[in-house]
Structures are given as C-alpha cells and as structure tokens.
Amino acid sequence: MQYPEPIAKLIESYMKLPGIGNKTATRLAFYTIDMNEGDVTNFAKNLISARRDLHYCSICGNITDEEPCEICRDTTRSQDMILVVEQPKDVMSMERMNDYHGLYHVLHGVLSPIEGKGPDDINIANLIKRLQKTPAKEVIIATNATPEGEATAMYISRLIKPAGIKVTRLAHGLSVGSDIEYADEMTLLKAVEGRQEI
C-alpha cells in the first residue's frame, strides 16, 4: 500500500532537507498533518518568505533582506576594518560577542582542492574589489582552524598584503579543527584580542 499522494509529496519535500532520511521525513509529515491549520499556513509562508526575501548583501555577502545589509549601512562601525568569515552563521557568532565593531566579508566557503573549490568558487573577488574601492587598515581572517581554513587565510593574505593592508589571523584559542560557529563568546573574544599578523 502506498501513502495518499499529498502525504507522499510532503515526505518527499522533507527528504530534501539535509540529514533527513525517509524515516524522519515520514514522522515529520505525519506530525505536520496533525498540526493546527494556522501553524501549518504560517510554516509554509515562512518557508516561502525566507527563500524569496533573503539574499546575499552585494557588498559583504552576508544574508540580508535589505540591500546593502544592516551592518554595511551602519556608519558608526569602523569602516577600515574587515573581518573575513566562511559563512553567514559566523557573522552572527561574532556579533554575539558584542566586541567587534568593524565590517565583515563572507566567503561562502573555503578553498578546497579535494572538493574542487578554487578562488573563483568563493567570494574572494568581491573582497579585492571592495578593498580597491575603500582601502582597509586591517583585514582579520577568521576562517575556521581547519587545513582548508588555514590555506584560505594564507591565500587571501598573499593577495592583499602587497597593497599595504595589515592582515591578521585569529589567535589559536580556537582549537585546531574547530568551527567559529560553535565557539563560545569568551573563546572568540580571546581569539580576536590575540590575533596575529600573517
């Protein structure tokens, strides 16, 4: 026996999410049909709105529903300091620390020869363009402490250092292989304070 089409389709949709297999998708689908109608309508609306209204800021690459994003528009922030991270989630981690008041640049990934990811596959060209337009005093590279994160930091440093920009890397209060996303605020704060020139 097969499920009626509406629930089969719902299961199919849930299975498109990362880490969700048939079993979990089926459980979620049955849960959804038992939810009250208002909640389900809201859920559907939120899905559509998140997909439709959000985009990447044309300046920094962070996720936003405005253009440019709130951080890029904020003139009270230090305009001559750019902190480079891998993912939009990392911007949120840094902001939670409440101690960094410069700008950001989101790479959307790191260089990874194994995955065939080169400089053109991540948001590096925009960083260079940005620096040519408005030179920064310091660029802090806060890619994760993984081999790919390190290689990406070195690559960017070699590109922009000749322009006379101070390039620093977060201190290794962050343990090797660790993600910015999961670091607590104190660890991040120490890593930023102890950053070193590369």
Q: Which is nearer to Zn ion, 61 or 149 (CB)?
A: 61
CA atoms within 13 A on the CB side of 186: 0
Binding mask 56-95 for Zn ion (x = CB under 5 A): -x-xx-x-----xx--x-----------------------
φ/ψ (deg, to 5) at 187: -65, -40
User: Interface with Zn ion includes 183 (CB under 5 A)?
Assistant: no
CB of 178 to Zn ion, least distance (A): 26
String of DSSP letters for 11-76: HHHHTTSTT--HHHHHHHHHHHHHS-HHHHHHHHHHHHHHHHH-EE-TTT--EESSSS-HHHH-TT
Binding mask 1-40 for Zn ion (x = CB under 5 A): ----------------------------------------
CB of 161 to Zn ion, least distance (A): 24
State the residues that interact with Zn ion by CB under 5 A.
57, 59-60, 62, 68-69, 72
